[in-house]
Each structure stands twice: as C-alpha cells, then as structure tokens.
C-alpha cells in the first residue's frame, strides 16, 4: 500500500501558496485544523463516557483535505459529504456548541438533536449522509441546479470515501455530470480502508481517480491529502478549471484516518507499523513545521493556539451538558413522512 509522497501527486509551488495566503490566513487555517482535532478528541471522550449515542466517525488524520478545500474555494458553494462530517460542518460555519450539542442529542444541536453525529447541516452543507455513495447523486443534483439557474462562480463539492467508488450511484452520477457538463468536483478521500476492507481488495483500479476519470472523459487530480498546502493548491486549480469549462473534475486525496472506522472499531486489521508511518505525516504537524520554518509560528505559539481550541471545545461540552433534551411535544416537527 502506498503511503506518503508519491511521484504521481499534484505538484505545486509552496512559496506561491505561502505568499498568496499570507501569515494571518495560514495561522487561521492551522487554527481550524486544531479546532477540528480538539473537537474530535473531546467528542470521542464524551462518547466513551456514554454521553453520545449512535455512531461516531472521526476525521482525525484527514483534516488537511477539507480545510484546504474551503480555504481555496470559500463557503459559497454546495457541499456534501459522508457520515464523517464534523469537520466540514465546522468549516462551513456550524459552531462547536451546536455540533457538540447534536452529538449529545440535545435540542440546541445542529439538527435539534434529531440527527446525531452523521447528519450535520449548514446553509451550504447538504449533509452529513450515512448511505455510502448516497451523497454523490445529491451533489450531482446540486451541480445541475447551479447550471440550470446559471449561477456564476459556484460549484458543487462532493466528498466521498474510496469505498463509495464501488457503488453504482457514483458511476451514474459521474456519467451524467460529464454528459451534461456540470460544475461538480468529486473528491475521493482515499484513506485506504473501507471499514476493515483494504481498498485494493474492493476497487479494481489504482490510482482510482486517474483510471476512472478517463471512463467519463474528465480531468483528474491526485493530491497528497496530508499536506494542507498541496490540498489548497489542488482545490484552487480544480475550481478554476471547473468554473472556466463547466466540466466536472475527479480528485483523489491520498490520506489516512488515525482512528478505527468508527469509535467501536479497534482497527486490528491495520499493523502498528502502518499506523505509525501514517501518523508521522500528521497534517497538523506538517503544517506547523512549514510555518515554523518560514518564521510565521513558534512552538510556544502553537501550544497556545492548541490550548485555546481545546478550551473552546470544553466550553462546547459544558454547553451540550447543560442543554435541554428535545421536548416530546416537538418530536415530530420537521419529520418529512407521509
């Protein structure tokens, strides 16, 4: 299995990205990655303490991808993702309080406590969807609506795991997006494992995007998903191409999740060596190192930033604890059932 830098990864000019974003914005993006990391750590702890029900899928290890995407593209587009959705909700404006309260199933939560961990939404995030591949047709529909309504400067970003590539809905969506010239950006977050199944036992081609994009006459980009700077540059280029050509693009971001598939998965199918190797390329540590090397950050400032994000999340835990349970009177409100 390929981990780490690879010759076929998207190449970019690091100095250009640094100059383009500047010190303040770079620190703000690192801060967001630390907020995501801290939220996941405290959310998991709350789960272990019996405060959170249902499933819990952590985004730890993959932070650079969605942070780099929103940094490059902005939050005015349509976004869809999987059940591993806490980070994208945060990046698109949901507060730590409303996310934590949703995990706790409280009335003050992002979906009033009705959705839980896998179903977060914002004005721009169409979900948080738990059916593997289920978000791909939705994202394609969102891309169609952009084109139909002639909305300028907008695209539909669809995040999926590599496991979803084996679903029919993925292929039907890419076929239509290509046929109808839709402004869709499909992002395969290839963390190499679909639950306990290795990608190379489930998917016939590797690299995935490189092969499959050819079937649908699309351009593809394969990017190092552990590198914020690479992700930023790749998403910037992808968006520019999509907006210019109104042709869909398939991105494959090579990454690693540092936890099991969900909180109840001890991940025994993965060797300790493989996990250690993956964690040596921690996206937060990589970004920190670059910023320190460029004299934009010190170790002490980094620690302070981390502690500030931890405190925000601890305050969110207290908020969730103190929040009321959904009232049985309003339980059926918003339920769309015949």
Ligand X SMILES: Cc1ncc(C[n+]2csc(CCOP(=O)(O)OP(=O)(O)O)c2C)c(N)n1
Which residues contribute to the site for ligand X (CB under 6 A)? 82, 84, 130-132, 161-164, 191, 193-195, 261
Nearer to ligand X, 37 or 236 (CB): 37
Q: What's the token pair of residue 164?
A: 């979803």
Please report how close the Cβ of residue 291 comes to ligand X at its closest, in angstroms: 28
Cα distances from 25 to residues 2, 20, 30, 68, 232, in angstroms, run 32, 9, 9, 12, 12
Select 193 or 319, whichever has its Cβ closest to ligand X.
193
Q: How far is the CB of 262 from ligand X (least distance, A)?
A: 8
> Contact 311/38 with Cβ under 8 angstroms?
no
Name the closest residue to ligand X (Cβ): 161
Quote the least distance from Cβ 191 to ligand X, whole Å: 5
Nearer to ligand X, 195 or 292 (CB): 195
Sequence-ordered strand ranges (E) for 191-311: 193-194, 197-198, 219-224, 249-254
Total residues found in the chain within this entry: 338
CA angle 328, 333, 337 (to 5 degrees): 115
Could you give the strand order of the β-sheet that contains 249-254, starting from the edge strand earlier in sequence?
125-128, 78-81, 156-161, 184-190, 249-254, 219-224
Least spacing, CB of residue 265 vs ligand X, in Å: 10
If the CB atoms of residues 115 and 183 are measured against ligand X, the closer one turns out to be 115
Cβ proximity to ligand X: between 76 and 200 the closer is 200
Shortest separation between residue 135's beta carbon and ligand X, angstroms: 11
Minimum distance of ligand X from residue 151's CB (angstroms): 29
Q: Which is nearer to ligand X, 130 or 139 (CB)?
A: 130
Strands (E), the chain: 78-81, 125-128, 156-161, 184-190, 193-194, 197-198, 219-224, 249-254
């Amino acid at each position: 299995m390929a981990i780490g830098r690879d010759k076929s990864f998207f190449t970019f000019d690091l100095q250009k990205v640094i100059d383009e974003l500047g010190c303040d914005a770079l620190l703000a993006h690192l801060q967001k990655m630390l907020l995501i990391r801290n939220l996941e750590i405290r959310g998991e702890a709350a789960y272990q303490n019996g405060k959170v029900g249902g499933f819990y899928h952590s985004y730890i290890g993959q932070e650079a991808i969605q942070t780099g995407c929103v940094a490059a593209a902005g939050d005015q587009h349509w976004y869809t993702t999987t059940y591993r959705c806490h980070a994208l909700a945060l990046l698109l404006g949901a507060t730590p309080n409303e996310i934590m309260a949703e995990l706790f199933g409280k009335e003050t939560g992002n979906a009033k406590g009705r959705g839980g961990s896998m179903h977060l939404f914002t004005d721009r995030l169409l979900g948080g969807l738990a059916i593997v591949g289920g978000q791909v047709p939705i994202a394609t529909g969102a891309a169609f609506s952009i084109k139909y309504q002639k909305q300028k400067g907008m695209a539909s970003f669809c995040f999926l795991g590599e496991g979803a590539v084996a679903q029919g809905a993925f292929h039907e969506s890419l076929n239509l997006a290509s046929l109808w010239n839709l402004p869709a950006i499909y992002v395969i977050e290839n963390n190499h494992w679909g639950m306990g199944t290795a990608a190379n036992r489930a998917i016939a081609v590797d690299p995935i995007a490189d092969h499959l994009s050819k079937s649908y006459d699309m351009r593809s980009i394969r990017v190092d998903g552990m590198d914020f700077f690479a992700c930023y540059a790749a998403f910037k280029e992808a968006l520019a191409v999509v907006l210019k050509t109104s042709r869909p693009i398939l991105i494959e971001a090579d990454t690693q999740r540092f936890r099991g598939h969900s909180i109840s998965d001890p991940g025994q199918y993965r060797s300790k060596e493989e996990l250690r190797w993956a964690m040596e390329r921690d996206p937060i540590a990589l970004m920190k190192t670059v910023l320190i090397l460029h004299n934009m950050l010190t170790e002490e400032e980094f620690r302070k930033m981390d502690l500030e994000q931890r405190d925000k999340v601890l305050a969110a835990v207290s908020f969730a604890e103190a929040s009321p349970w959904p009232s049985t009177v309003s339980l059926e409100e918003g339920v769309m059932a015949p």
